[in-house]
Structure 1
């Protein structure tokens, strides 16, 4: 008989904070540039039915040293970059950007009758990849496989996901930094989802309703950092939605300034010089 897996408990809860970015776009933000969420750095949630909150979007701006993942719940976003990519994503779609040495891009919002609801996640690149070649791809909703629990569904954007019953899927994004895995969990009222997960970093961000995570309530706008163990147990009395993030820490120094994330202050200064000199993306 196989041993009963150890259920991962909530080690820490963090609340989102209101912020603004781009051209005055109002967001709810979670960030930790001190390594507390390694390999993840930041999660922004943009959710509003008021166009003035987001219509200015994110005009052209640079990045170096990170990956970004943008995922749309409803509405849409149009991406353009200096590499010549131009793509629009809608509900259920995602776009992934490996900024490497440098990329200059814009993301401009599209609205529907409910406004716009989307996320952007920053993943830190390992030191060896900070100056690698920039790449981009979009992922359509129909490319993302699903797992099922009891009145619960998991959509895999990237990485490997597996239920305790042994069913598994791999999301289309297979090159996420820090062996990253990202999924969208949806639980109906009374739903349950039990996952096998051994990742060193495991995070649950609730953006709709509330979840019971191993016996602890996690409400809307809260991020739960899970402790060590072998399984993730989720349930909800009234229904909930959450992003699930798993990965392995780089364990490297983090130096951050605006859109640049490097390992040392001198590397940040070089990034700023390169951007001013027009050589960031060379």
Structure 2
């Protein structure tokens, strides 16, 4: 029996800055169990280089995975393991910090526009001290799920898997330690989308452009909708160009201890992480 999800809560993204003064919009849910396994979503959008020119200089992480997705513009990655990658518009980058990584990130505008997202995904306790990993996925490797209405824009599947029209589609990225699906849908006019996810998943929708309607409720640009339990999501876009990021994942049901770029399970582990970083242990991995 189909159980449709409904909008349980709306959370507005708030402006802030990170790195070397980079302006972003952020929604954080470190202590919100309905976000798990996701922790935070940052949106980077500007047509002014002063908003991001400093980028994100070298900084550490432990205990999380990051998924960076660029709609427009490029994003350069470098880390202490020797990985170097330049993400082109429409592509994605994934990094699992595990026991420790030091990396830098530099956004680059193309055609006068920069628009992208970075998602933090929690790692289970069993993965927080595993070796770090990195992969990039250029736009041509992103899976596009065809929809029955040819007027529909395809659903771009960045991570995990999703059920659409009685078929299950799998992304190129399936390596997330926590079971997680991330997708982007950007219709140009009023269109409908219905998809299925496991009933046990937490599901979040972030509208980054226009409006989306769900269960007679409007989700406006800059709002993140926390959805109720269920296995099916039915969305309708407004009659204007719109866009929504779809996040769905298996909750970890583990304690979260967060300090800056580190996410562990206890404050004792956070203190050890700070000590390891300050003593240069990260650079030996």
Shorter-chain TM-score tier? over 0.9
Which of 19, 22, 29 pairs up with 2:26? 29
Secondary structure in structure 1 of the residue aligned to 2:186 = strand
Partner of 1:19: 16
More strand by share: 1
User: What is the match of residue 9 of structure 1?
Assistant: 6
Q: CA deviation at 1:246?
A: 0.6
Q: 2:213 is matched with which residue?
A: 212
- Contact 2:179–2:250 (8 Å) recurs in 1: yes
Q: How does 1:1-282 map to 2 (within 5 A)?
A: 3=1, 5-36=2-33, 37-149=35-147, 150=149, 151-163=152-164, 165-198=165-198, 199-238=200-239, 239-281=241-283, 282=285
Give a deviation string over 1:195-236, Cα, whole Å, max 9, x none. Answer: 112242011101011001232110101101111112110111
Q: Which runs of 5+ in 1 are unaligned?
A: none
SS in structure 1 at match of 2:281 = coil
Distance 2:266 2:275 in 1: 15
Paired positions, count: 278
The two structures have a TM-score, normalised by structure 1, of 0.96
Q: Distance in 2 between matches of 1:248 and 1:230?
A: 12
CA separation in 2, counterparts of 1:30 and 1:153?
A: 26
Is contact 1:205-1:224 (8 Å) kept?
Answer: yes
Q: Secondary structure of 1:251's match?
A: coil
Q: Secondary structure at the match of 1:95?
A: strand
Secondary structure in 2 aligned to 1:190? coil
Q: Deviations over 1:56-102 (max 9, x none)?
A: 10000000000000000101111000000001011111100000000
CA contact (8 A) 1:72 1:119 kept: yes
Give the secondary-structure state (helix, strand or coil) at the position aligned to 1:187: coil
- Please give the per-residue CA displacement for 1:223-271, whole angstroms capped at 9, x wherever unaligned: 0111111211011132311110110111111100000000000100001
Shift of 1:11: 0.7
Shift of residue 185 of structure 1?
1.0
Task: Using structure 2 for the length normalisation, give the TM-score.
Answer: 0.95
Distance 2:232 2:134 in 1: 32
Say if 2:127 and 2:177, in contact at 8 Å, map to a contact too: no
